[in-house]
């Protein structure tokens, strides 16, 4: 979809450079915002656009910005969450590779709106290649004066530091990200206080996903109403839907929020390869409960998927074909969360490990239906009891797999 030529990801893979971005009108929106608008007006517009965070939690960005106390003598920080690690998700990689200046322009506008002078981009450690491109873009922007002191001759100066993670999915959780940025183990903090008030180095901090910030220039360029109109649901705009698994054209597709799942799979990703049919679809990254073939007409927006007892999450769509062993999918899922649990809180630390042990025993032929009941019971013991959403991220998909594929799992394990 390329309405009005406004895209997040340029079609040309080499159009990431500053000069190409400038030719597309890059940084003009930031200039307009910084030189003619008030911060409050920017926050109001972003609020009106109702853009939901594109990281996984889906919290409205404008509302989050509004929680930062105004004024105050100390520093405020912007942290861009580029710790993309939700299995099935690769859109932030593409934004960083193909639209880094869009991200930087979004960061400028965000910093202006909230009174921030210092930004960190937390890039997952495995994105080394990606990060090199990002650093080049920042250097370009610095040379051109878009990053650094007195941008556009205003009193907004913005420092940008790229920080690399080192292999921890949990660092995508905002308070664990802050801990990691402060040089510690990536373990989530108790909330309240929330990062908007006590965040990085104890200062008010805004944390937003890469794609969310990179979408801000669009909103300010064309206005909240335009943005709302681009979506099919009450959440505005377009967003990047990742598709992988058994499809002809895996990739990221920039589509209206609320596009039906079936359309994304069949029309944009080319449907399943010849002769294969869909067994199940994970709609929003591994943490999203699996959907059955009959549930694929759901609109891909936060509320619709919530009503379907799943979630939009990171919009990482994984298409699982017939012939796949769901025990293997269950194993990969249980193994992932047991590996990524940070270990701080009891239910997740022990529950994810316990579930994995049971699944591994089932895989080597030592179990039965009662074990599946126990897995469900343990998932219940984790859900709603943990310090951070990784608990739900583990419990909900495991619960869905065991419930929706109970028959197959029972047959497999009792053979």
Partner 1 sequence: MSYAPSPAALGKIDAAIARYPERSAALLPVLHAIQDESGFVSPDAERWVAAKLAIPPVRVREVLSFYTMFRRAPAGRSILQVCHNVSCALAGADDILRFISEQLGIAPGQTTPDGAISLVTVECLGNCDHAPCLQVDGVDHGPATRETVASLIEELKAHD
Partner 2 sequence: MNGGKPVCLTIDGLKVQAYEGTNVLRAAEQAGIAIPHFCFHPGLEVEGSCRMCLVEIEGLPKLELSCSTVVRDGMVVRTSTDRVREARKDVLEFLLAEHPLDCPICPKAGECRLQDYYDSHGLYASRMVEARERRAKKLSIGRGLLLDRERCVLCTRCVRFLQQVTGTGELGIFERAVRSEVGIFDGAPVDNNYSGNLVDICPVGAITAEDFRFKTRAWFLARRPSVCPHCGRGCAVVIESVEGYPLRRSEKRVYRVTARENPAVNGFWICDLGRDGRHDIDDGRHIAVSKKDAPVQGLPWPEALAGVAAAIRSVPGPERAGKIGVVLNARLTCEELALAKSLFVTGLGLRKIYFAGRKPGPADGLLLTAERMPNDKGVLAAGFTPRLPSLGELAGAEVLLVFGPYLLDHFGEDAIARALAGIPAKYLFAAHAGPLDRLVDAVFPVAVPAEKSGTYINTEGVRQSFAPAVKPCPGVAAEGAILACLANTLGIAVGETDAR
List contacts with partner 1 (CB under 8 A).
75, 84-90, 92-93, 118, 124-129, 161, 163-169, 180-186, 201, 242-246, 250-252, 282, 286, 316, 318, 320-321, 324, 328-329, 332-333, 335-336, 339-340, 342
Q: According to the binding rule CB under 8 A, does residue 386 interact with partner 2?
A: yes
Answer for which of 69, 149, 293, 343 binds partner 2 (CB under 8 A) is 343
Residue 321, contacted partner among partner 2, partner 1, none, CB below 5-8 A by kind: partner 1
Q: According to the binding rule CB under 8 A, does residue 349 interact with partner 2?
A: yes
- As measured in angstroms, the least distance from the Cβ of 247 to partner 1 is 9
Answer for which of 229, 374, 376, 403 binds partner 2 (CB under 8 A) is 374
Q: According to the binding rule CB under 8 A, does residue 413 interact with partner 2?
A: no
Closest CA to 174 of 208, 197, 213: 208
Q: According to the binding rule CB under 8 A, does residue 190 interact with partner 2?
A: yes
Partners of residue 164 on adjacent β-strands = 123
Q: Provide the pairing of β-strand 251-256 with 205-209.
A: unpaired
Classified as helix, coil or strand, 311 is coil
What is the Cα–Cα distance from 372 to 367, expressed in whole angstroms? Answer: 9
Partners of residue 60 on adjacent β-strands = 52
Q: According to the binding rule CB under 8 A, does residue 249 interact with partner 2?
A: no
Closest CA to 387 of 250, 202, 254, 190: 190
- As measured in angstroms, the least distance from the Cβ of 33 to partner 1 is 27
Closest CA to 282 of 239, 324, 315, 328: 315
Answer for which of 24, 354, 376, 412 binds partner 2 (CB under 8 A) is 354
Closest CA to 135 of 148, 121, 124: 121
Tell me the DSSP string of 86-122. STT--HHHHHHHH-HHHHHHHHHHHHHHHT--EEEEE
Q: According to the binding rule CB under 8 A, does residue 202 interact with partner 2?
A: no
Q: According to the binding rule CB under 8 A, does residue 178 interact with partner 2?
A: no
Q: According to the binding rule CB under 8 A, does residue 340 interact with partner 2?
A: yes
Q: How many CA atoms lie within 13 A of 114 on its CB side?
A: 35
- As measured in angstroms, the least distance from the Cβ of 189 to partner 2 is 8
What is the Cα–Cα distance from 415 to 412, expressed in whole angstroms? Answer: 6
Q: How many CA atoms lie within 13 A of 21 on its CB side?
A: 25
Q: According to the binding rule CB under 8 A, does residue 385 interact with partner 2?
A: yes
Answer for which of 318, 326, 342, 362 binds partner 2 (CB under 8 A) is 342
Q: Which is nearer to partner 1, 51 or 85 (CB)?
A: 85
Q: How many residues bind partner 2 (CB under 8 A)?
A: 30
Q: Which is nearer to partner 1, 21 or 90 (CB)?
A: 90
Closest CA to 306 of 57, 100, 136: 57
| Contact set with partner 2 (CB under 8 A) | 168, 185, 190, 338-347, 349-354, 357-358, 361, 374, 377, 380-381, 384-387
């Amino acid at each position: 979809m390329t309405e009005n030529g406004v895209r997040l990801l340029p079609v040309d893979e080499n159009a990431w450079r500053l000069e190409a971005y400038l030719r597309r009108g890059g940084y003009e929106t930031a200039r307009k915002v910084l030189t003619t608008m008030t911060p409050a007006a920017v926050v109001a517009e972003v609020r009106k656009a109702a853009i939901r965070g594109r990281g996984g939690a889906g919290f409205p960005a404008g509302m989050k910005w509004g929680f930062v106390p105004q004024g105050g003598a100390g520093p405020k920080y912007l942290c861009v969450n580029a710790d993309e690690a939700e299995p099935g998700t690769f859109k932030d990689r593409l934004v960083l590779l193909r639209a880094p200046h869009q991200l930087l322009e979004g960061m400028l506008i965000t910093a202006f709106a909230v009174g921030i002078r210092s930004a960190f981009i937390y890039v997952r450690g495995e994105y080394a290649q990606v990060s090199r491109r990002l650093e080049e873009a920042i250097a370009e922007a610095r040379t051109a004066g878009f990053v650094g002191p007195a941008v556009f001759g205003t009193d907004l100066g913005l420092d940008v530091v790229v920080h690399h993670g080192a292999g921890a999915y949990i660092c995508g959780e905002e308070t664990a990200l802050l801990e990691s940025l402060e040089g510690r183990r990536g373990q989530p903090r108790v909330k309240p206080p929330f990062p908007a008030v006590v965040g990085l180095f104890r200062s008010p901090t805004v944390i937003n996903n890469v794609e969310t910030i990179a979408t801000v220039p669009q909103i300010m360029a064309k206005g909240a109403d335009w943005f709302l109109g681009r979506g099919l649901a009450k959440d505005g705009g377009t967003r990047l839907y990742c598709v992988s698994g058994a499809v002809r054209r895996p990739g990221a597709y920039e589509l209206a929020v609320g596009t039906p799942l079936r359309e994304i799979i069949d029309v944009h990703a080319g449907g399943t390869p010849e002769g294969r049919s869909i067994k199940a679809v994970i709609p929003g990254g591994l943490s999203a409960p699996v959907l059955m073939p009959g549930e694929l007409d759901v609109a891909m927006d936060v509320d619709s998927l919530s009503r379907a007892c799943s979630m939009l999450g990171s919009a990482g769509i994984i298409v699982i074909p017939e012939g796949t062993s769901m025990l293997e999918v269950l194993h990969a899922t249980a193994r992932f969360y047991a590996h990524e649990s940070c270990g701080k809180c009891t239910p997740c630390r022990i529950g994810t490990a316990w579930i994995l042990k049971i699944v591994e025993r089932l895989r080597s032929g030592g179990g039965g239906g009662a074990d599946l009941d126990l897995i469900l019971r343990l998932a219940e013991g984790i859900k709603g009891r943990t310090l951070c959403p990784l608990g739900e991220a583990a419990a909900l998909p495991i619960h869905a797999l065991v419930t929706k594929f109970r028959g197959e799992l029972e047959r497999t394990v009792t053979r």
